[in-house]
Structure 1
């Protein structure tokens, strides 16, 4: 079956609204001959004369009367869909955004971000979801609106990214720990008992890469920085964690610069390109960027 010419809907709407070929031609800025050709195509497509002569004028057929309202409604809806989006009104925006974040984001930035959202758009709600892996499937299928994390070489090229901030690794021990006194040296750091944070995938920690073969004494392994800090707070173990992402979690503990050079981490936000032009999503991205700046 041949695909119908949907441009004919606009012509049909003009013909049925004006009730005359001349009026429809003026409305569509067409010549009389072009309008006659368009009417001929409409009659062929609908298998109905649509307008028939009655005295000195034209009157619609029953089929034309039947089509007038639904065709007009279709054309109006199509025009509305193709118009530029109306300016975003944050005061009336009602929407829930799902943010999939690494640990530490909610603890360090969540309260400020929620407060900013509430002040600017009271009808918006934020749903924070933990991020356990680097898969971007949830962004692609629309389950998640925005993610935060470190963009690796294996990142999906389809996904948009924007850097939020740089972070660096530091060492953390409980208050009163022997390492809280005196100058930190590589020998003291290596001699201590460590809790290792091992992410999914089994990749080597950037800290161990920077140690270039020197080995830490690992007493425990955990999957999160929060758990590592909890263990260090209640023991003599050392937790090596990103500074900015653990600021709140480290309160009351002693932090120190590492005795080795570890490359900084760049934490970014990620989203699917279909959300690029969405005004509400752009507003949210701006708030996240400002909150983390």
Structure 2
């Protein structure tokens, strides 16, 4: 039987036939389904037309099923049970009994900063859940689409002036802000810079972090607008590498406050003399997972762990 043929049928007929077989009475079947006896009689007529069989014949005051009805009985019961199972609510999510893996995409610095807290928070409630951390990349959206990446933590770079997102379109993902990334200027305790004017900031040697090590960013555009330029003495690809260089030299760097606060290195911080808007840090996931109880459980605890790690520093 084709799907197109099924589309023309009222599948409520299955439920009516199931009750008719069980009660062998139009009146009792109608009562069981909460409809009137005339309505059930009309339904029986429709069943006879659809199946080209009388299905029941009267014997005194009782209905006796035909051989076709008796042959259909186990199939009808199975179909009704299968349909009921489709609409039954899922069993309550039990984190203690949960097994399997969950994959999180995070940058190198956020893994270092938050992975211990995330693991501890999740394992406190779901000790059997295996966590898989992987780096963020331009492929992360496609990995999420394919179900290879369950949840990601990443910045909304559109908040920064003239900073492209690397051609990555996040619009198809659910985006939940979990904290705001603010920026500070850092220096080593041996060469502390607790207050910086714009000219002093431009005069000092900088280390910058970026994926391409180009050494130029929107800060340079801002300085240029004030007839200033800075010397980029070193360019690295990670914030951690920049922090390591600053800690051991007279260089300064403009780094995310969350990275500095969770860093094991001792650094002196100062507010930047350049206006830098806060960058929302987002939890990102595919919309198909929004109502999934397991996914909701994990992402809520990931958010709690991140906020707790930030608050503890």
Please state which band the TM-score falls in when normalised by the shorter chain.
0.7 to 0.9
**CA deviation map 1:91-128 (0-9, x unaligned):** 22334322222332221121112111111122322222
Counterpart CA distance in 2 for 1:211 and 1:291 is 37
Residue 232 (structure 2) pairs with residue 218 (structure 1): yes
Residue 192 (structure 2) pairs with residue 180 (structure 1): yes
Counterpart CA distance in 2 for 1:35 and 1:67 is 19
- Corresponding residue to 1:79 among 77, 84, 87: 84
What is the deviation of 1:152? 4.7
Q: Alignment RMSD, CA only?
A: 3.1
Counterpart CA distance in 1 for 2:216 and 2:194 is 29
The equivalent of 2:38 in structure 1 is 33
What is the deviation of 1:86? 4.0
TM-score with structure 2 length normalisation? Answer: 0.78
Secondary structure of residue in 1 paired with 2:96: coil
Residues 27 and 249 (structure 1 numbering): CA distance in 2 closer, same or farther, change over 3 Å? same
- Corresponding residue to 1:263 among 277, 286, 308: 277
Residues 203 and 76 (structure 1 numbering): CA distance in 2 closer, same or farther, change over 3 Å? farther
Residues 77 and 191 (structure 1 numbering): CA distance in 2 closer, same or farther, change over 3 Å? same
> Which is further off, 158-167 or 50-59?
50-59
- Corresponding residue to 1:97 among 92, 99, 102: 102
Counterpart CA distance in 2 for 1:8 and 1:203 is 72
For structure 2, the 5+ residue unaligned runs are 159-164, 308-313
TM-score with structure 1 length normalisation? Answer: 0.82
What is the deviation of 1:270? 1.9
What is the deviation of 1:269? 1.2
> Which is further off, 108-117 or 132-141?
132-141
- Corresponding residue to 1:291 among 301, 305, 309: 305
Residues 216 and 65 (structure 1 numbering): CA distance in 2 closer, same or farther, change over 3 Å? farther
Counterpart CA distance in 2 for 1:206 and 1:50 is 80
- Corresponding residue to 1:20 among 19, 25, 46: 25
**1:185-264 → structure 2 map (5 Å cutoff):** 185-199=197-211, 205-213=217-225, 214-233=228-247, 237-264=251-278
The equivalent of 2:118 in structure 1 is 113
CA contact (8 A) 2:107 2:135 kept: yes
CA contact (8 A) 1:229 1:250 kept: no
For structure 1, the 5+ residue unaligned runs are none
Residues 49 and 229 (structure 1 numbering): CA distance in 2 closer, same or farther, change over 3 Å? farther
The equivalent of 2:294 in structure 1 is 280
What is the deviation of 1:161? 2.0
The equivalent of 1:169 in structure 2 is 183
What is the deviation of 1:50? 2.7
> Which is further off, 122-131 or 70-79?
70-79
Counterpart CA distance in 1 for 2:66 and 2:237 is 74
What is the deviation of 1:28? 0.8
**CA deviation map 1:220-276 (0-9, x unaligned):** 433322333344456554443212134344524444443333222221212233333
Instruction: Report the number of matched residues.
Output: 290
What is the deviation of 1:185? 4.1
Structure 1 or 2: more helix by fraction: 2
